[in-house]
Amino acid sequence: MAITNRTRNLLLTALCGLLAITVLTPLVSAQERESFTVTAGPHEVRVVPTNTNLAAGFFQLALFVTNSDTGEVVSDARVALVAKNEEDDYEGWATAQNSPARPDRYDARMNLGSTGHWVIGVDVTSPLGTGGADVMTFDVPALNRYTSGSLVFFGIFAALMLGIVYLFWSVKRQNRRRREAAEG
């Protein structure tokens, strides 16, 4: 039985779609699972980590600020994040900004300067009032200097260098054989 090009293309498209659904579904559910909601004075703040690399002390957050009584979006708030590392007595902060395109979403990015146990708090000021609360805690691990990815990189680099050395040696040997053949 011969499979036509159209049938093969339909099967490949279906396979790609199934693969995309299988890969993307856990990612979407993981994002929904990782949100934190706190009450900061008259505000309710939902915090969603959007991009994190804790080994490097870097993370991005999306914050959604609403009126805790009515549930209405607060688009004119001043939102500040405060990060405290109690082990090193270190404190950092960042501001979260919204845009006219997404007035309901405030985005913040923080780079933490040291490893250890961090507590992230949010301070919100708007015409409704002022409030603050601790949102989440996490540990920034020590950055491993050599990971399996760097070992793969060094292995590939060494293989390339050996290939280049072999290429030069082989060209030199070929030139020597030609010279000997021309002389003899």
pLDDT digits (tens, 9 = 90+) for 62-86: 999 999 999 999 999 999 999 888 7
Asked if residue 2 is part of any domain, the answer here is no
Q: What is the mean pLDDT of the chain?
A: 82
Percent helix, strand and coil across the chain, each to the nearest 5: 35, 40, 25
> Which pair of structure tokens corresponds to residue 117?
């146990």
- Give the mean pLDDT of 112-134: 88
pTM over 0.95: no
Classify 134 as helix, strand or coil: strand
Are 106 and 133 contained in the same domain? yes
Which of 17-21, 34-38, 131-135, 169-173 comes out lowest in average pLDDT? 17-21
Asked if residue 84 is part of any domain, the answer here is yes
Asked if residue 12 is part of any domain, the answer here is no
More reliable by pLDDT, 88 or 25:
88
